[in-house]
Structure 1
Amino acid sequence: MSFSFAWRHRGAPRWRHGLWPVGQAFALFSLISSNGCSDPAPGGRVEQEQRPGPVYRAVIQRTQHGIPHITAPNFGSIGFGQGYALAEDHACTLADQILKVRGERAKYLGEGPGRAHVTSDFAYRLLDLPHRAEEAFGKQPAPVRDVLEGYAAGFNKYLADTGAQNVPGFCKGQPWLRAMTAKELLAYHINLALTASASRLIDAIGSAQPPGGAPTGTLDPSEAMKRLRENEIGSNGWAIGSSRSKSGLGMLLSNPHFPWEGEMRLWESHLTVPGELDVYGATLIGFPGVLLGFNRDVAWTHTFSAGRRFTGYALRLVPGKPTHYLYGNEERTMTEHPLTVAIRQPDGSVKEESRTYYTTHYGPVLSIPTELPGEPFMWNAEHALTYRDANLDNTNFTAQFQAMDRAKSLEEFQSVFATTQGIPWVNTMATDRQGNTWYADASATPHLSAPALARLGADLADPASLPGKAMAKLQFIVLDGSDPTNEWVAEDGARSPGLVPYAQMPKLARQDFVFNANDGHWLANPAEPLVGYSFLHGLERQPQSARTRMNAVYLTETAENGASGPDGRFTLDEVKATVLSNRNLTSELLLPQVVARCRGKTTGHHQGRPVDITQACSLLAQWNGRFDLDSVGAIVWREFMGAYTNESLFAGGELFATPFDPSNPVTTPHTLKPAPAEGDDPLLDKLAQAVDTLKAAHVALDAPLGQVQFIVRGKRKQRFGLNGSNGREGATNVMTYGTANNSSSEERYSVRGTPINAASGLTADGYVVNYGSSFILAMEFAPHGAVHADALLTYGETGNQDARAFTSQTELFLAKKWRKVLFAPEEIATDPGLTVQVIEQ
């Protein structure tokens, strides 16, 4: 039997008009826990029926903006409640991802553009994540198994209660919208662990056929390269300790930059199992628990790691044998994998297609089209490309975060990293109630020997070498796979043979702060650089992005108008104001100097002709250096910076007079490079280029940022102007457009016009946004066991475009209005928008 009912509470002090106040809701929940239940009778009396107790039971309280606070008596039921609540908001997205991991998209959706669904299905069949999950499921800790089974049951109950024809979204009524199993859910979690590795290589895996094999319908070379190079996911994360917080207790800023659409959206929830779990935060769609957030004792956030999650291997093939490769002094044979996928035809019928795929002892063979013949990136008669994945056997991902969610001290939190080692691809910044802070890049990382690393480092510096070419074209490491010295090294203390052991991973404990903004581990705190680690974890003593430097400025400056004020000790309001201040480093370093150079000048040159720069210079002189909605001059600066190369912004180049200095990584490069003694001033020419670029997009130079930078949301195509920047200029509030990390969902994405300046993101439509600041959380531990926190989920809690919660938080974000995080029971109970739902099965 199953049981479900709901009621709504609007803060009434007693039961009336058929509404149940929260106190009675919890009393009812207690009754459910022990005696079974039936629908509430008139007057609030509950008629009991004698029957076996349910397997799962949970109370879902949703507060304003649709945030679910879920309470349950055990881990199976908390998974049940979270799975049900997630399905209410994002059933289509998760169901589509399960379909993808099963390798059945083509069966239901047809070939897809460029046969993309066929390629994806073959790749996922080769990776065989369901089989990996099947083998791993019984090895999971009992609470993890319980949560997985409960989560799947909750999702399935929502589908049964609602009916496929009534589920809102792109999956409505689709035959592939069906119940899932706990093992399928675990398979999807393995896939999430592959975000920085196999997920980037799906096209290359599914397209890999021996020379002369049947065409696979792969992407054109330029598009294939673009997808492999793109990696938009980024973040800012701070953990502030006792010496830098006003209260002397720990504080946290979580500012992940994630897609606003597709499967990589974050989703917010609060989970309580009395005596076992009380955690609040955000997670990826379909992942149980909380990935970043806080409990009563520990708070943490993550940023995407700059390290490497896989290594490619170029193999020399045996002449005349395209599936045999040389390895040292021996010949090895690739392993054959005959695979078949079903493909829906335009007339609705289904046919099967079979191919044979190949793996080496490293992993799957890849094929990446390039414009240049003879390179070892596409399978040919002489070479094949394969790869080894650090997360393909990471079946600890779910267990890692469940244990983190339950940690009752920072020491217990840290021990999870040492023992479970399930972190796939993120840095972690954490703090505790006492004001201790901790940083770790515990991401799964290949472990190469010291000689192999030394040789690789030299090769990467040589653009003519194989690793040099691969890094330039693909932005990943490719080694000589026929040389055994390039094998990963097995060492005690690692989760799996060949990974860097936990003891050798970058870690730092401080009392002031730790942070990361997607550069490597090196400057988690500039006062104590982390050095001497494998560069596969990230580069050391290298130029930092303007965004990383801006974060460091916020955390170190002590001034009346500084982020933490003249006392250098943060309050919660100061943290909130800082992250949405839209300051940017490049304007703070250069704007007055640029204005001084262009003032009084009327002309620059672009593409061999004069361009009037008078208005552009005047606008910059009036601009306050912020990327706010009403900022006039911001787009001129953005295009001016967009005229310079990344190397100039990072290291100095043609922009800065003082180049990067590894002994002063936060303050260098700095100072505008002076004008030449003779000839045209290149700065004026860059400003002329900015003017021409904006004119090419038909954008007025004096347009405020919010008119040009926007997102279109919902069925009504509502346009929201957005504050923030693309990050190149050094703003921490990132707003940009991305494709690589949300491109596997069948959901329809935001589209934009023809790109005009790839560096700035300007298109014929303006600055179209679908990626950036997402779950923004500012919190502090407070006296007497309390927690104070404010948050924004910029794109809203639900994917249901008809729901008010789809855009309500976007409106708050535009106004820089935070919402209070409701964590204590009495806060939740008095929320004016509270609804309560009891679900049981």
Structure 2
Amino acid sequence: MKTWIVRTSWLVVVVGLTALIALMTWEPLVATPGKAPPPHAYRAEIVRDEFGVPHIHGHTDADVAYGVAIAHSQDDFSTLQDVLAMTRGRYGAIAGEDGAKVDYALALLDARGTADRQYMTLRPDTRALLEAYATGLNDYAKAHPREIKLANLFPVDGRDIATGFALRQPFFFGLGNTIGPLVAGTPLPLEHGPALGNAPASSPKPSGEPNLNGSNAFAVAPARSGDGVTRLVSNSHQPWTGPVAWYELVVQSDEGWHFAGATFPGSPFPFLGHNEDLGWTNTVNSPDMTDIYKLVLNADGTKYRMDGKWLPLEKRSVRLPVRFGPLVLPIDKTVYASIHGPVIENKNGAFAFRYGGMGSIAQLDAYYDLNKAKTYDQWHAILARHAIPSTNFIYADKAGNIAYWYNASIPLRKAGPDWRGVLPGDRSDLIWHKLVPYDSLPHYFDPKSGFLFNSNNTPFHAAGKQSDLSPDSVPPQMGVELRMTNRARRAEKLLDATDPIGPLELKRIKYDTGWERAGYVRQVLDAIAALDVRDNPRLAQAQKLMGEWDLDSDGKGPADALADLVMFEPMVASYDREPLPPARELLDHASAHLLKYFGRLDPPLSDVLRIRRGPGPYAVDLPMDGGSDTLRAATSWNVGDDGRLAVKHGDSFIMFVEWAPGKPVSSQSIVPFGAATTRPDNVHFTDQAALFSQHKLKPVHFFWADVEKYAVDPKVYSHQR
């Protein structure tokens, strides 16, 4: 009997160990193997300047793309692998539940299928760029096998790179704010539009994270600059690390591609910046690009009704890998689709959704072409293809032109139905197939005011009082936003009141830390002032401080730290179109935090708000100014064990560009940390942080003669056919 029990026990142990081993190893074994690009030879020279920014030169554009992959891998191979895992539906095997949500979105949107179907519609030179970039990633992986964190991820090819675009682009205009509530079966956000706040969001956001994608952009024409110089300021607000953190670079080929700017992990070309002749930057806009339809299903849920007929509901099963510690669990999910688009079933029924840009990867051709445009007419003609689904474009060039396009793939809807609500899913006449003509979108070209701006606000406040468009210039069914951010109110006020807007004035405006007593700011301050807090001395002191606040997060006032904490949640609620939190709750949480960690309600803002990165020999812990909705943006933060707020999102890649009469383009830039994004033992891990903290910029060495003066360890990388 004892022998039988012992044998049974051993059998249980063996079975258990086998199951554990299986859960630890199954995912790479069943993953679909990748394909290497067709054989091709590449040769790229990578020269890093004194700040480690890569300047990549090649004979052909494809050579340069190969070098972009090598350089970016040297600085941030870890994040590049995350992005590649997303394109394969394997991110959950790295990032657990949050990663599995991205994998589900990949399947739901059929991003991989879109890339496969549309890949050969891309121009041959664009495909050549993608294949070269993929080859560079493969070569780096092969040369550094110890850095690979997910087995069987490589090789990758151009379709993998294209899939990343198909997956991430829709989340820039807020598609996640439609998918999330539909999956959960909770009420949709007001007008089911995007939450404002700049992931270029971005990738599907992790659970519990506010959708804080925002940016500032400024263009000043020669007539307003006071010195005849055309100026462009790119001030994107992105996460400081991760799949949509900016990576700075300069590219140059003998075929005429020459551009300085920044890109995201997984892209072979910059998304914003400048060439010799022109430049642009982007801010997230919030057009109504998505429509939701409630389907009528038959009894067994296999068909849906359309114009009185029953059509089969498309369905397919996907297996999502979800990491829990050392184990990776297989979770089976079913994704659905109708002729409207993707379908989500929840406790309230089955809902299809349709969005502008669905099923297209034409933005790959467009971004590449924008990099090489030489004139405004060329640049505008590329945008007018309607290939890039969303984001505002603010433009300037050496000819002295400035422009702003409210770029958006807005469906061409007929008047009558409530397009902001949930539509009947059994009427084909509500399924649109065309987009609003591009030239009917709000836009400005050389306004009389001499300046343009956007801070994630309505396009009807962009050029000052004398030049702004009227909201009545577009029909309401286009769903163009009418809201203003605090940043927009400040920018409009400061730009209107400043003449000329020279280099010092423009920098002062960009780094402004002020708040306007308007919108949610006024509501919060009025509500705090109206509180009866005689029963709580701490709240009474905090109320007094807030009443004396100078409406500036410059770090000079005693209430600045308290105000930054108080205003964060209302900013998020305003962007998310949700009710503002109760004033007493805001005051209580903020004051309790400061008293707990700093022993006072009025610590200097510089002691509380920090630029932190480490560990390692180049760790930094520096002061930061600004607030969650100031032009000097510290949008959100992580709370440290010591109670200090380590900024993780806000001012990220900043670039000032100038075209002076008769002179070549010049520019300066800065990022919060450094070029070696995830390399803590590299001097360039944080070597820009001190400058960033002090509102300083570094030079961009755009021309090769300048690059050579500051060249550090130039190297040539090649791939043989």
How would you bin the TM-score normalised by the shorter chain?
A: 0.7 to 0.9
- Counterpart check, 1:186 vs 2:162: yes
Helix, strand or coil for the counterpart of 2:688?
helix
What are the equivalent positions in structure 2 for 1:289-688 lying under 5 Å apart? 289-318=269-298, 320-340=299-319, 354-367=332-345, 378-380=346-348, 383-419=349-385, 421-452=386-417, 455-456=418-419, 467=421, 478-488=422-432, 490=433, 498-511=434-447, 512-526=450-464, 527-531=467-471, 532-535=473-476, 538-539=479-480, 542-558=482-498, 568-586=499-517, 605-606=532-533, 609=536, 613=540, 617=544, 625-629=551-555, 631-639=557-565, 641=567
Aligned-partner Cα distance in 2 for 1:396–1:331: 33
Q: What residue is the counterpart of 2:689 in the other structure?
A: 810
CA contact (8 A) 1:521 1:537 kept: no
- Aligned letter for 1:522? F
Helix, strand or coil for the counterpart of 1:235?
strand
Aligned-partner Cα distance in 1 for 2:362–2:487: 32
Shift of 1:229: 9.1
Shift of 1:507: 1.7
Shift of 1:415: 1.0
Q: What residue is the counterpart of 2:136 in the other structure?
A: 154
Change in 2 beyond 3 A, CA 1:704/1:751: closer
Shift of 1:352: 6.2
Shift of 1:301: 0.4
- Counterpart check, 1:736 vs 2:635: yes
Aligned-partner Cα distance in 2 for 1:347–1:829: 47
Shift of 1:385: 1.7
Aligned-partner Cα distance in 2 for 1:684–1:201: 31
The one-character-per-residue Cα deviations of 1:13-59 (angstroms, maximum 9, x if unpaired) are xxxxxxxxxxxxxxxxxxxxxxxxxxxxxxxxxxxxxxxx9821111
CA contact (8 A) 2:460 2:470 kept: yes
CA contact (8 A) 1:575 1:778 kept: no
The one-character-per-residue Cα deviations of 1:429-465 (angstroms, maximum 9, x if unpaired) are 001112211111222222221222xx34xxx6xxxxx
Change in 2 beyond 3 A, CA 1:837/1:699: farther
Helix, strand or coil for the counterpart of 2:84?
helix
TM-score by length of 1: 0.69
CA contact (8 A) 1:520 1:538 kept: no
**Percent identity between the two aligned chains:** 23
Of 612, 615, 639, 1:715 maps to: 615
Change in 2 beyond 3 A, CA 1:305/1:588: closer
The one-character-per-residue Cα deviations of 1:271-330 (angstroms, maximum 9, x if unpaired) are 112351211111111212221111111111000012133222222334x33333333433
Of 120, 128, 141, 2:123 maps to: 141
- Counterpart check, 1:767 vs 2:645: yes
Change in 2 beyond 3 A, CA 1:499/1:61: same
Aligned-partner Cα distance in 1 for 2:206–2:254: 48
**How many residue pairs end up in the alignment?**
651
Aligned-partner Cα distance in 2 for 1:690–1:444: 41
Of 673, 682, 685, 1:795 maps to: 673
CA contact (8 A) 2:96 2:324 kept: no
Aligned-partner Cα distance in 1 for 2:480–2:100: 38
Change in 2 beyond 3 A, CA 1:334/1:783: same
Aligned-partner Cα distance in 1 for 2:208–2:134: 32
Aligned-partner Cα distance in 2 for 1:648–1:388: 26
Aligned-partner Cα distance in 1 for 2:404–2:623: 31
CA contact (8 A) 1:296 1:786 kept: yes
CA contact (8 A) 1:604 1:688 kept: no
- Counterpart check, 1:725 vs 2:626: yes
- Aligned letter for 2:301? P
Shift of 1:583: 3.0
- Counterpart check, 1:250 vs 2:235: no
Q: What residue is the counterpart of 1:233 in the other structure?
A: 213
CA contact (8 A) 2:545 2:558 kept: no
Shift of 1:543: 4.7
- Counterpart check, 1:826 vs 2:705: yes
Q: What CA RMSD, in Å, does the superposition of the two structures yield over aligned residues?
A: 4.0
Shift of 1:425: 2.2
Q: What residue is the counterpart of 2:600 in the other structure?
A: 700
The one-character-per-residue Cα deviations of 1:697-724 (angstroms, maximum 9, x if unpaired) are 6662221112112244223494634424
- Aligned letter for 1:525? A
Shift of 1:765: 2.8
Change in 2 beyond 3 A, CA 1:203/1:90: farther
Shift of 1:525: 1.8
Shift of 1:839: 1.3
CA contact (8 A) 2:239 2:652 kept: yes
Change in 2 beyond 3 A, CA 1:840/1:765: same
Helix, strand or coil for the counterpart of 2:468?
coil
Higher Cα radius of gyration:
1
Aligned-partner Cα distance in 1 for 2:568–2:81: 40
Aligned-partner Cα distance in 1 for 2:331–2:126: 37
Helix, strand or coil for the counterpart of 2:295?
strand
Shift of 1:508: 1.4
Aligned-partner Cα distance in 2 for 1:123–1:626: 40
Aligned-partner Cα distance in 2 for 1:117–1:308: 27
* Unaligned 5+ runs, structure 2: 1-38, 186-203
Shift of 1:606: 3.1
Shift of 1:818: 1.2
Shift of 1:201: 6.2
CA contact (8 A) 1:119 1:206 kept: no
Q: What residue is the counterpart of 2:717 in the other structure?
A: 839
Aligned-partner Cα distance in 2 for 1:790–1:530: 35
Helix, strand or coil for the counterpart of 1:239?
strand
CA contact (8 A) 1:249 1:434 kept: no
- Aligned letter for 1:409? T
Aligned-partner Cα distance in 2 for 1:705–1:587: 23
The one-character-per-residue Cα deviations of 1:506-525 (angstroms, maximum 9, x if unpaired) are 22112412211111222222
CA contact (8 A) 2:80 2:266 kept: yes
Change in 2 beyond 3 A, CA 1:189/1:356: closer
Helix, strand or coil for the counterpart of 1:737?
strand
The one-character-per-residue Cα deviations of 1:467-501 (angstroms, maximum 9, x if unpaired) are 3xxxxxxxxxx43323445322x3xxxxxxx3223
Shift of 1:402: 0.9
CA contact (8 A) 1:207 1:366 kept: no
Change in 2 beyond 3 A, CA 1:326/1:646: same
Q: What residue is the counterpart of 2:193 in the other structure?
A: none
Aligned-partner Cα distance in 2 for 1:269–1:812: 18
Change in 2 beyond 3 A, CA 1:536/1:297: farther
Aligned-partner Cα distance in 1 for 2:40–2:303: 57
Shift of 1:684: 11
Change in 2 beyond 3 A, CA 1:840/1:610: closer
Q: What residue is the counterpart of 1:660 in the other structure?
A: none
Aligned-partner Cα distance in 2 for 1:260–1:300: 21
Shift of 1:629: 5.0
CA contact (8 A) 2:491 2:509 kept: no
Aligned-partner Cα distance in 2 for 1:230–1:640: 16
- Counterpart check, 1:163 vs 2:144: yes
- Counterpart check, 1:276 vs 2:216: no
What are the equivalent positions in structure 2 for 1:106-125 lying under 5 Å apart? 106=92, 108-109=93-94, 113-114=96-97, 117-118=99-100, 120-125=102-107
Aligned-partner Cα distance in 1 for 2:483–2:115: 41
Q: What residue is the counterpart of 2:52 in the other structure?
A: 66
Shift of 1:331: 3.4
TM-score by length of 2: 0.80
Aligned-partner Cα distance in 2 for 1:506–1:767: 38
Change in 2 beyond 3 A, CA 1:113/1:644: closer
Shift of 1:538: 4.8
